[in-house]
Amino acid sequence: MPRTRSKLFPTPDDAETAFYEAFERADLAAMMAVWAESDEIVCIHPQGPRLAGFEAVRESWAQIFSGGSQLRVRATEARSYDGPTLAVHNVVELVAPPGENAPVTPVFATNVYELTEGGWRMVVHHATPAPESPRPAEEEPSSQAHTLH
Amino acid sequence: MPRTRSKLFPTPDDAETAFYEAFERADLAAMMAVWAESDEIVCIHPQGPRLAGFEAVRESWAQIFSGGSQLRVRATEARSYDGPTLAVHNVVELVAPPGENAPVTPVFATNVYELTEGGWRMVVHHATPAPESPRPAEEEPSSQAHTLH
């Protein structure tokens, strides 16, 4: 099914900005305009299954946005790895419901963008709840025991 | 601190194979030979914090391997995104303790490799426990409600 693309993202940063703006606005069309139209895309929401392919990813965002609660989402502490056709951003998302004093939930996300004929598009979004606070400093490994790596 | 590298990984697949072999053997030196020697590397173990930089990542693997329980780890269902200097593999790790009938724990991992002067090296390992079974088919989005995407 051909789709009309109204936007092109000339850089991975442009695609990432559009991703988080669509997320905050709960705008499904804008969200899916960020993703590559491919069976190869992968989306893992926090504690969710591994969704593969455009339709499965679209349905998951439709479900999330249907809840009606618009969230504030800010991507911070980015570590970026950039190639000519592929870019990876590992970020800490600060996710909060609307309101001045709403609690902020940190989420770790790895976002992968690929240069396609239609500009840079997201191909992987892998998101993980951050461990319960107090959050350890990045420089100090957790003292938690990990039974499975 | 200069380190002597005994191995070069000519492809991202070679680096990934070495990563999982080192993991299974609980071989810290071999594990850290896979990683780029950089402050920019990021490792998120399942339910763990976001560790950044070579020393923090090294300490985490030392801690994991110090437990003495060698695990079998098989990377399956790979989705690969390849560029000339950057490669991303999203895989389902099947992790099990030794033994014929040991339970297998699926872990979702996003592995990022970068072409360095020393060949391909890992720069991101982001691992997440898969949801409790029954694991939904990849083509069908979960019916779980996600309050935070």
Contact A92, A79 (CB under 8 A): no
Q: What ipTM does this complex have?
A: 0.85
Tens digit of each residue's pLDDT, chain A (149 residues): 445 555 689 999 999 999 999 999 999 999 999 999 999 999 999 999 999 999 999 999 999 999 877 899 999 999 999 999 999 999 999 999 888 888 999 999 999 999 999 899 999 999 999 997 544 444 334 444 444 55
pTM of this structure? 0.86
Tens digit of each residue's pLDDT, chain B (149 residues): 445 555 689 999 999 999 999 999 999 999 999 999 999 999 999 999 999 999 999 999 999 999 877 899 999 999 999 999 999 999 999 999 888 888 999 999 999 999 999 899 999 999 999 997 544 444 334 444 444 55
B88 contacts in chain A (CB < 8 Å): 86, 88, 112, 123-124
Contact A98, A70 (CB under 8 A): yes
CA distance A130 to A137: 12
Q: What value does the CA radius of gyration of chain A take, rounded to a whole number of Å?
A: 16
A144 contacts in chain B (CB < 8 Å): 47-48
**CB spacing of A128 vs B124 below 8 angstroms:** no
pLDDT digits (tens, 9 = 90+) for A22-60: 999 999 999 999 999 999 999 999 999 999 999 999 999
Contact A54, A40 (CB under 8 A): no
A149 contacts in chain B (CB < 8 Å): 23, 45-46, 64, 71, 73, 95, 107, 127
Contact A13, A124 (CB under 8 A): no
Q: For residue B37, how many other CB atoms are within 10 A of its CB?
A: 17
Here the tokens at position B26 are 């609980």
**Residue indicated by tokens 């070495």:** B18
